[in-house]
Amino acid sequence: MTALLHRIAPITTWAPRYERRDLRSDLAAGLTIGAMLVPQAMAYALLAGLPPEIGLYASIVPVLVYAVFGTSRQLAVGPVAIVSLMTASTLAPLYEQGSTGYVTAAALLALAVGAVHLVLGFGRLGFVVNFLSHSVLVGFTAAAAIIIGFSQVKHVLGISVPRQDHFYETVREVVSAIDGTNGTTLALGLASIALLLGMKRWARRVPSALVLVVVSILAVQLFDLEDRGVKTVGEIPSSLPAFGLPDIDGGNLGSLMSAALVITLVGFMESIAVAKVYARRHRYELDANQELVGLGMANVASGLFGGYPVTGGFSRTAVNDTAGARTPLASIVTALLVLATVVFFTPLFTALPQAALGAIIIVAVINLIDVREMRHIAHVKRSDLIGLSVAFAATLVLGIELGILVAVVASMLVVFARMSKPHSAELGRIPNSTSFRNVDRFPEVETTDGIRVIRIDAALSFVNANHVKRLCIDEAARIETAPHALVVDCSGINDIDATGVEALDEIVTELDEGPVTLHLCDVKGPVRDVLHRTDLWDRLGGRIHATAHEAVAAIDACVSPRSLRTAGIDEHEAHDTSTELSHA
């Protein structure tokens, strides 16, 4: 029972053993992230099309809940740019922005996201997120960053632009309205961006977003900038988030659930990626399925307390670690600071200019366009650029939801394309050894006339069965002298399906009609099991060997091993102790 409690609620593991020496570091990190999160939460709420206080609500109880159920010690949970944009993309076509229905639907979406997280977590289905490859995520994130950044240009320019479903439409609207730019707002916005970038370079430990908030509020009040057309966030309620189940709109529930799945995939990929970095750095184990549970509970809490979907963020987590976070207590301190802000300090934010919040978002998403990682991907595996490019282009052209769907499909098609033509190699024996290697990589290897050894490096399945069959027939056709044998090294084949069995049967049948005989070596257990359930194992009797070396030796000497079992080839063969003793 205790073990189950520790697994479900990791706080019961670290809290009783909390060391007082970590308290100062956790307090410093919690206060730093709290100061950073307050302006970011309000900015991201506006990005999601929600009132600024909703972002604050999503930064209190959800953060506390993750500290109880999460396994990462440094992950900073709360509103993030990409999830905020996806929330707006989901809700804008369904509800009028700013309406009660819109706000309620945001909370319902958080519940749906939490439910998907919990199903994946408790079902140990964390592998589902692997459908979104790293290269696809890099391309998608870069495109989303551009969309997010450009969506804030209207706040920096001080113009009104109706929300559009596609990036190019937003660009067109901004260009058409640019004549109405408010000079004072533009100056304030550019100064805000310059301040954030400058502090990021020369004063990294200082919460630059909080400094900008204070400076911009003072500027608005001292110079009466509202009279000059500078828009502010206006009054922010100082009431605490109320607990309650949001009204369920059955008509749009299907759209919310499909969006919740996409938000879960993207949000969890972002969260788990950064959490793994700091888990490795601080040498502790991170449970991916428990992370799904922790983020799921955080989103459920967000939905029940009037927030919207949350996840772990890149920038805040980095700052959290730099500021000294040692345990999730830092997150608890952060949540309490945001709570104090909601209760006591929200009237101070009335004069906060929207241009400053827009600048905070623009600077925050700059790092999401990771050119260095794109170059790294191109250097490591150039074909991965296909998924990256498709994700980037599809997201910009089609929007967030369709873009990520197209990117996932493209990524899977690339995988299927690789599987359909698996790597294969002709093998030769390294002189004075029993090891066989690729003749193209090791030209000094020795080959035997009349015997051709090839290796196939993929599971034999419906995806590549025809290609493998054609490969084997073509390789057999190249054998012109006796003993006319084709050896297939199966060390790279870890599975075989019904189509693969049929293809192998056709290869045996076709080759048996000519001078070339087919031999197999190094057949793995799962493949042996399947072959035993067909007649292929018996048909290939005497032509299955432990290694390529033994196969060539047996063919060259026209002998076969006395016992497949003792040779390590067939565990199904009867174990004859007396025979073994007679040969001892």
Residues 6+ apart with CB under 8 A from 112: 256, 257, 259, 260, 303
Give the closest residue to 308 by CA, choosing from 117, 116, 100, 108.
Answer: 108
pTM listed for this prediction: 0.74
**39-43, 159-163, 368-372, 399-403: segment of lowest average pLDDT:** 399-403
Name the percent of the chain lying above pLDDT 70. 94
pLDDT of residue 133: 75
Condensed to tens digits (0 to 9), the pLDDT of residues 248-300 reads: 877 788 889 989 998 998 888 888 878 887 888 888 888 888 999 999 999 99
Structurally, at CATH architecture level, domain 424-569 sits in 2-Layer Sandwich (3.30)
pLDDT band per the 50, 70, 90 thresholds, residue 580: very low
- For all residues of the chain together, what is the average pLDDT? 87
207-245 tens-digit pLDDT: 788 888 899 999 999 999 999 999 998 888 888 888 888
Predicted local confidence at residue 583, as pLDDT = 32
- Residue 527 near residue 461, CB atoms below 8 Å: no
Give the model confidence (pLDDT) of 105-136 as tens digits: 999 999 999 999 999 999 888 777 666 677 88
* Higher-confidence position of 454 and 395: 454
**Interval 569-583 mean pLDDT:** 50
402-406 mean pLDDT: 78
pLDDT of residue 382: 82
- Res 577 pLDDT > 60: no
CA of 31: how far to CAs of 36, 89, 103, 207, 364, in Å? 9, 32, 29, 10, 19
At 560 the pLDDT is 52
pLDDT recorded at residue 582: 33
Chain-centre distance for alpha carbon 36: 25
Q: Dihedral angle at the C-alpha atoms of 105, 109, 111, 117, nearest 10 degrees?
A: 180
- Mean pLDDT confidence for 360-384: 84
- Comma-separated ranges of CATH 3.30.750.24 domains in the chain: 424-569
Task: Give me 98's structure tokens.
Answer: 């700013």
